[in-house]
Amino acid sequence: KAGVTQTPRYLIKTRGQQVTLSCSPISGHRSVSWYQQTPGQGLQFLFEYFSETQRNKGNFPGRFSGRQFSNSRSEMNVSTLELGDSALYLCASSVNGGTGAEQFFGPGTRLTVL
Protein backbone atom coordinates (compact mmCIF):
# COMPACT_ATOMS: atom_id res chain seq x y z
CA LYS A 1 0.00 0.00 0.00
CA ALA A 2 1.41 3.35 -0.99
CA GLY A 3 2.24 5.79 1.77
CA VAL A 4 1.27 9.40 2.18
CA THR A 5 2.54 11.48 -0.71
CA GLN A 6 3.14 15.20 -0.71
CA THR A 7 3.81 17.44 -3.66
CA PRO A 8 5.90 19.31 -4.36
CA ARG A 9 8.77 18.19 -2.13
CA TYR A 10 10.58 21.51 -2.36
CA LEU A 11 9.30 24.97 -3.10
CA ILE A 12 10.87 28.41 -3.23
CA LYS A 13 8.67 31.49 -3.14
CA THR A 14 9.11 35.17 -2.47
CA ARG A 15 7.39 37.28 0.15
CA GLY A 16 3.88 38.26 -0.73
CA GLN A 17 3.23 35.31 -3.01
CA GLN A 18 0.83 32.52 -2.24
CA VAL A 19 1.44 28.78 -2.32
CA THR A 20 -0.61 25.60 -2.47
CA LEU A 21 0.65 22.31 -1.12
CA SER A 22 -0.93 18.96 -1.86
CA CYS A 23 -1.30 15.78 0.16
CA SER A 24 -2.59 12.39 -0.95
CA PRO A 25 -3.43 10.14 2.01
CA ILE A 26 -3.08 6.40 2.21
CA SER A 27 -5.90 4.68 0.37
CA GLY A 28 -8.87 4.25 2.68
CA HIS A 29 -7.79 6.97 5.09
CA ARG A 30 -10.36 9.71 5.51
CA SER A 31 -8.59 11.98 7.99
CA VAL A 32 -5.82 14.34 6.95
CA SER A 33 -3.87 16.59 9.29
CA TRP A 34 -1.29 19.25 8.55
CA TYR A 35 1.66 20.28 10.70
CA GLN A 36 4.31 22.97 10.37
CA GLN A 37 7.83 22.13 11.48
CA THR A 38 10.40 24.87 12.12
CA PRO A 39 13.64 24.89 14.11
CA GLY A 40 12.30 27.59 16.41
CA GLN A 41 8.72 26.49 17.04
CA GLY A 42 9.02 22.77 16.44
CA LEU A 43 6.03 20.80 15.22
CA GLN A 44 2.77 22.70 15.35
CA PHE A 45 -0.70 21.56 14.38
CA LEU A 46 -2.34 23.50 11.57
CA PHE A 47 -5.66 21.77 10.92
CA GLU A 48 -7.40 18.44 10.48
CA TYR A 49 -9.97 17.38 7.91
CA PHE A 50 -12.33 14.45 7.83
CA SER A 51 -14.81 13.80 5.06
CA GLU A 52 -14.23 17.28 3.61
CA THR A 53 -14.95 18.99 6.95
CA GLN A 54 -12.42 20.83 9.08
CA ARG A 55 -12.74 19.43 12.58
CA ASN A 56 -10.00 21.33 14.33
CA LYS A 57 -7.68 24.23 13.66
CA GLY A 58 -4.46 25.32 15.33
CA ASN A 59 -3.37 28.81 16.27
CA PHE A 60 -2.31 30.09 12.89
CA PRO A 61 -3.40 33.28 11.12
CA GLY A 62 -6.13 33.22 8.52
CA ARG A 63 -3.50 33.28 5.76
CA PHE A 64 -3.26 29.54 6.33
CA SER A 65 -6.20 27.62 4.93
CA GLY A 66 -6.95 24.15 3.74
CA ARG A 67 -9.51 21.94 2.17
CA GLN A 68 -10.21 18.30 1.54
CA PHE A 69 -11.73 16.75 -1.52
CA SER A 70 -14.19 13.90 -1.83
CA ASN A 71 -11.33 11.47 -2.56
CA SER A 72 -9.71 12.54 0.76
CA ARG A 73 -6.85 14.37 -0.94
CA SER A 74 -6.09 17.60 0.80
CA GLU A 75 -4.52 20.92 -0.05
CA MET A 76 -3.27 23.70 2.14
CA ASN A 77 -2.82 27.25 0.98
CA VAL A 78 -0.75 30.03 2.42
CA SER A 79 -1.42 33.51 1.11
CA THR A 80 0.76 36.60 1.38
CA LEU A 81 3.83 34.62 2.31
CA GLU A 82 6.16 35.90 5.03
CA LEU A 83 9.76 34.96 5.70
CA GLY A 84 8.62 33.19 8.86
CA ASP A 85 6.50 30.79 6.83
CA SER A 86 9.66 29.00 5.71
CA ALA A 87 9.24 25.53 7.14
CA LEU A 88 8.72 21.86 6.50
CA TYR A 89 5.01 21.23 6.09
CA LEU A 90 3.98 17.71 7.02
CA CYS A 91 0.79 15.98 6.15
CA ALA A 92 -0.49 12.97 8.08
CA SER A 93 -3.36 10.62 7.41
CA SER A 94 -5.29 8.15 9.51
CA VAL A 95 -8.30 5.96 8.99
CA ASN A 96 -10.73 8.12 10.91
CA GLY A 97 -8.60 10.56 12.87
CA GLY A 98 -9.64 9.25 16.25
CA THR A 99 -7.40 10.60 18.98
CA GLY A 100 -5.74 7.26 19.59
CA ALA A 101 -5.34 6.47 15.94
CA GLU A 102 -1.93 6.11 14.38
CA GLN A 103 -1.15 8.95 12.04
CA PHE A 104 1.00 8.18 9.03
CA PHE A 105 3.18 11.06 7.94
CA GLY A 106 4.33 12.01 4.49
CA PRO A 107 7.89 13.18 3.72
CA GLY A 108 6.85 16.82 3.82
CA THR A 109 7.11 19.84 1.57
CA ARG A 110 9.99 22.14 2.35
CA LEU A 111 8.94 25.71 1.69
CA THR A 112 11.53 28.45 1.50
CA VAL A 113 10.34 32.04 1.42
CA LEU A 114 12.86 34.59 0.14
Taking CB under 8 A as the rule, does residue 58 contact another protein? yes
Taking CB under 8 A as the rule, does residue 108 contact another protein? yes
Q: Are residues 65 and 58 in contact, defined by beta-carbon separation less than 8 angstroms?
A: no
- Per CB under 8 A, which of residues 15..54 are in contact with another protein? 31, 33, 35, 42-45, 48, 50
Taking CB under 8 A as the rule, does residue 92 contact another protein? yes
Taking CB under 8 A as the rule, does residue 4 contact another protein? yes
Among 55, 83, 84, 112, interactor with another protein by CB under 8 A? 55
Taking CB under 8 A as the rule, does residue 107 contact another protein? yes
DSSP secondary structure, the chain, as one string: ----EEE-SEEEE-TT--EEEEEEPPTT--EEEEEEEETTTEEEEEEEEETTEEEEE-S--TTEEEEE-TTS-EEEEE-S--GGG-EEEEEEEESS--TTSPPEE---EEEEE-
Which residues in this chain contact another protein in the complex, by CB under 8 A? 4, 31, 33, 35, 42-45, 48, 50, 55-56, 58, 90, 92, 97-100, 102-108
